[in-house]
C-alpha cells in the first residue's frame, strides 16, 4: 500500500507505522506499534496528517477508526462495530444466517466439554474455527474426529490463540474453488476490485495447515461475469445492507473469502481490510490513483469512481520461513533484492523483515512476496518464479509453494 500511495500525485509525504526495510525508501518509518492506538492518533494530530490508511485488522477490530473520527482525523477503515465482521466469526455467521447471505451451516460452542461431545456425533470432514482474530491460522479442515479433537483442545484448552477461541464454530465443509473478492464501500454504494485467488495451505496442491496466504494471482480468468454479478448482489450488497440495518454502517474495504459451490458462491469468512497476499497483485494491476479510491470512501463518493486496471495478470509468491505456520526459524540474510531494483514488472514487497547493519534479515513467518506482471497468467507465473531461488531472491531455510496460479490456467468457466 505504501508503494502504491507513493505513486499518487496528491501525496507529499508518507509516514508508516511501524514500517519495515521495504517501506523505508518510500516513507518515513515511525516506531509506533499498530496496537498503540492513542499514540497513533496523537501522531496524526501533531503532524497534521490528512489521511490515515489502516492495513492490518487488529487496530480496526480494536476501534482505531472510532478514535480517529472522534478527533476529526480522516481515516480509511470500518468502525469497531462494523469491524466485528472479521473480529468475530460468530458475529459474522449469525449475521449471514439472519439476513440470508449464503454460507456453510454451522454450530457455535463456548464450552469445551460440550464441543468435544458434539464432535463425537459429527460426520467428517468438517471445519473447526476460532471465533476471533488468529492471523489466518485459526481454522482447521478436519478429515476425522481425532484431528478435530486435537485442534479443539489446542483452541479451548491450550489456548494457542488466547481469548480468540473462547468461542468456536463447527461447520460443514464447502467444496469448490476459493475466490477472494474485495470491494470498496462508503456504507451505501460500492465498487468491486478485481477478483483474485489466494492459496491458504502451506504446501503444494493445497496440502498442510492453513496460513495467512502463500500466494495469489489476479484477475481470475475463468470467473464468469454472471458469477461476479451474483457475488456483488447476493454477498457484497447484501452484507453492506445487513450491517447498516444492524446499526453498523461499513465504510472501507469489505473482503469476503468465498467458495464457488454447486449451489453458487458462499462466504467462508470476512476480512475488514485489504487482504494480503491478494493486495500485492491487485495494486500492481491498478491504474487508478489509490488515494482517489480512499478519498471516495471517506467522502462517501464511491459512486463517482470508476476503477481502471492494467491489461494482463499479476502473480504473488510468498517466501516464508522454514517451519511456518508453526515454529519457524528467522534471522537469515535475504539476498538478491538488489537484482529487482531495475525490474519494471517484478517487485519484492516486504512483510516480516528488518535491517541490521545495512543487511535485510528475515524476521517473521511470512517474510516477503515476489510479485510479477505478465501479459497473461502463464507469463506472470514464469516472471515471478524466475526471480526466486539461489539466482534470485533467496534466504536460508526459505520455503514457498511452486504451484501458485496453476488453478487459474484451467480455462473452464466457474459459473
CATH number, domain of 19, equals 3.40.50.20
- The span from the CA of 48 to the CA of 42, in Å, is 10
Q: Which three cell numbers stand for residue 243?
A: 450491517
Nearest to 96 by CA among 239, 255, 271: 239
Question: Is 92 domain-assigned?
Answer: no
What 3-state class would DSSP assign to 59?
Answer: helix
Residues 251 and 394 in one domain: yes
End-to-end CA distance of the chain: 31
Nearest to 369 by CA among 409, 391, 398: 398
Question: Is 87 domain-assigned?
Answer: no
Question: Is 386 domain-assigned?
Answer: yes
Residues 378 and 314 in one domain: yes
CA atoms within 13 A on the CB side of 252: 35
Please give the pLDDT value at position 303: 93
Residues 371 and 243 in one domain: yes
163 CB burial (10 A radius; 0-12, 13-18, 19+): exposed
In angstroms and rounded to an integer, the radius of gyration of the C-alpha atoms of the chain is 21
Which residue, of 157, 172, 187, is where some domain finishes?
172
Total domain count for the chain?
3
Reported as type and span, the H/E element at residue 284 is helix 279-285
250 CB burial (10 A radius; 0-12, 13-18, 19+): buried
Which residue, of 37, 59, 76, is where some domain finishes?
76
Burial 321-339 (b: 16+ CB within 10 A, else e): bbebbeebebebebebbee
In sequence order, what are the residues at sequence separation of 6 or more whose Cβ sits closer than 8 angstroms to the Cβ of residue 233? none
Cβ(260)–Cβ(177) below 8 Å: yes
Which residue, of 172, 204, 226, is where some domain finishes?
172
Question: What CATH number is given to the structural domain containing 120?
Answer: 3.30.1490.20
Residues 270 and 309 in one domain: yes
Please give the pLDDT value at position 414: 60
Residues 141 and 186 in one domain: no
Residues 332 and 284 in one domain: yes
Residues 181 and 166 in one domain: no
Question: Is 81 domain-assigned?
Answer: no
Burial 254-270 (b: 16+ CB within 10 A, else e): bbbbbbbeeeebbbbbb
Nearest to 201 by CA among 211, 192, 191: 211
Q: Which three cell numbers stand for residue 255?
A: 473482503
In sequence order, what are the residues at sequence separation of 6 or more whose Cβ sits closer than 8 angstroms to the Cβ of residue 408? 197, 217, 220, 221, 222, 377
Residues 161 and 259 in one domain: no
120 CB burial (10 A radius; 0-12, 13-18, 19+): exposed
Question: Is 299 domain-assigned?
Answer: yes
Characterise 255 by phi-psi region: left (phi > 0), alpha (psi -120 to 50), beta (else). Answer: beta
> What domain range is 237 assigned to?
177-409
Whether pTM > 0.85 for this model: the answer is yes
Residues 187 and 165 in one domain: no
Residues 253 and 394 in one domain: yes
Question: Is 403 domain-assigned?
Answer: yes
Please give the pLDDT value at position 163: 93
Cβ(36)–Cβ(67) below 8 Å: no
Residues 273 and 398 in one domain: yes
Mean pLDDT by groups of 10 residues along the chain of 415 residues: 97 97 96 97 98 96 97 98 96 98 97 96 95 86 95 96 95 94 97 96 92 95 91 98 97 96 95 96 98 97 96 98 94 95 93 95 97 97 96 95 92 58
Please give the pLDDT value at position 412: 55
DSSP notation for 78-108: --TTTTHHHH-HHHHHHHHHHHT--B--EEE
Residues 217 and 291 in one domain: yes
Question: What CATH number is given to the structural domain containing 388?
Answer: 3.30.470.20
Helix and strand counts by DSSP (H, E) for the chain: 13, 22
Question: Is 90 domain-assigned?
Answer: no
Amino acid at each position: 500500500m505504501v508503494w502504491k500511495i507513493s505513486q499518487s500525485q496528491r501525496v507529499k509525504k508518507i509516514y508508516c507505522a511501524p514500517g519495515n526495510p521495504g517501506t523505508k525508501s518510500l516513507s518515513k518509518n515511525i516506531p509506533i506499534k499498530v496496537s498503540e492506538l492513542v499514540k497513533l492518533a496523537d501522531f496524526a494530530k501533531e503532524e497534521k496528517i490528512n489521511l490515515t490508511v489502516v492495513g492490518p485488522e487488529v487496530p480496526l477490530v480494536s476501534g482505531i477508526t472510532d478514535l480517529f473520527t472522534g478527533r476529526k482525523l480522516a481515516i480509511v477503515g470500518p468502525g469497531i462495530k462494523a469491524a466485528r465482521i472479521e473480529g468475530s466469526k460468530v458475529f459474522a455467521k449469525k449475521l449471514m444466517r439472519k439476513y440470508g447471505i449464503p454460507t456453510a451451516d454451522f454450530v457455535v460452542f463456548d464450552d469445551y466439554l460440550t464441543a468435544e461431545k458434539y464432535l463425537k456425533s459429527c460426520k467428517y470432514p468438517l471445519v473447526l474455527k476460532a471465533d476471533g482474530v488468529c492471523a489466518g491460522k485459526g481454522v482447521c479442515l478436519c478429515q476425522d474426529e481425532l484431528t478435530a479433537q486435537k485442534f479443539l483442545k489446542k483452541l479451548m484448552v491450550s489456548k494457542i490463540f488466547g481469548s480468540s477461541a473462547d468461542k468456536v464454530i463447527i461447520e460443514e465443509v464447502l467444496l469448490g474453488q476459493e475466490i477472494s473478492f474485495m470491494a470498496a464501500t462508503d456504507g451505501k454504494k460500492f465498487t468491486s476490485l478485481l477478483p483474485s485467488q489466494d492459496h491458504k495451505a502451506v504446501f503444494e496442491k493445497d496440502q498442510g495447515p492453513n496460513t495467512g496466504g502463500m500466494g495469489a494471482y489476479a484477475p481470475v480468468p475463468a470467473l464468469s461475469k454472471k458469477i461476479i454479478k451474483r457475488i456483488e448482489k447476493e454477498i457484497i450488497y447484501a452484507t453492506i445492507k445487513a450491517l447498516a440495518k444492524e446499526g453498523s454502517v461499513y465504510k472501507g474495504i469489505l473482503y469476503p473469502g468465498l467458495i464457488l459451490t454447486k449451489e453458487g458462491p458462499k462466504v467462508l469468512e470476512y476480512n475488514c481490510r485489504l487482504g494480503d497476499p491478494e493486495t500485492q497483485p491487485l495494486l500492481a494491476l491498478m491504474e487508478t490513483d489509490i488515494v482517489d479510491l480512499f478519498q471516495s470512501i471517506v467522502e462517501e463518493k464511491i459512486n463517482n469512481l470508476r476503477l481502471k486496471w492494467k491489461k494482463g495478470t499479476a502473480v504473488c509468491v510468498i517466501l516464508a520461513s522454514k517451519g511456518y505456520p508453526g515454529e519457524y526459524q528467522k534471522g537469515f540474510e535475504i539476498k538478491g533484492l538488489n537484482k529487482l531494483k531495475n525490474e519494471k514488472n517484478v517487485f519484492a514487497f516486504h512483510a516480516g523483515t528488518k535491517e541490521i547493519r545495512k543487511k535485510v534479515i528475515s524476521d517473521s513467518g511470512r517474510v516477503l512476496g515476489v510479485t510479477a506482471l505478465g501479459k497473461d497468467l502463464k507469463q506472470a507465473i514464469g516472471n515471478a518464479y524466475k526471480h526466486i531461488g539461489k539466482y534470485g531472491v533467496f534466504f536460508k531455510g526459505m520455503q514457498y509453494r511452486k504451484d501458485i496460479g496453476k488453478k487459474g490456467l484451467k480455462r473452464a468457466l466457474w459459473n
